[in-house]
Structure 1
Amino acid sequence: MLADLGFLGTGALTGTRKPPGRQLTDVQRACNTALNRLRAAVERRISHLTNWKVLDTGWRGRLTDFPEVLRTVIGLEIQRTWGMSQF
């Protein structure tokens, strides 16, 4: 689980906070950048999905099929974004 610096100590993978009066090392800065890039990509995808009208107004088909449809759409979005064939 990836998280921002507000979730330090929760068990989530977070970046490194800058120590008071000192700077982060180049390695720590690079790790924070890499983590933030991954986190931002996930947040963009979640934002994209939550802005879909079908998720806002409701599904007009059988509700029992909706989770399967949503999983398929999420899988296709992951494949389109990351170019991976399976997860």
Structure 2
Amino acid sequence: MSMRNAFQHNKFVLGGVVAFAIWTVLTFINVATSMGPLTLDNWVGQHGVGGVIGLVALAIVIGLALTTYGTLAEDDPAPEEWPPESAE
């Protein structure tokens, strides 16, 4: 299904996926800029190890959102029926 068809069929799902992906990218940038240094001596506050773990988790979520966005861009809306109808 093309993005144009997805938008025509359900505007809310497509808009929700795009808004979620944008929000996740902005959160990723916020975590990357606010995490502390990658030292193991200070575990109070926003330390670097927790920031790296958060960035990995957000990267996985961004990947899943892009995969969902990519499936909306498929040409075929659904797989073929099974079992196939016999041609008589």
State the TM-score, normalizing by the size of structure 1.
Answer: 0.39
Greater relative contact order, per chain length (Cα 8 Å cut-off, separation 6+)? 2
Structure having the higher Rg: 2
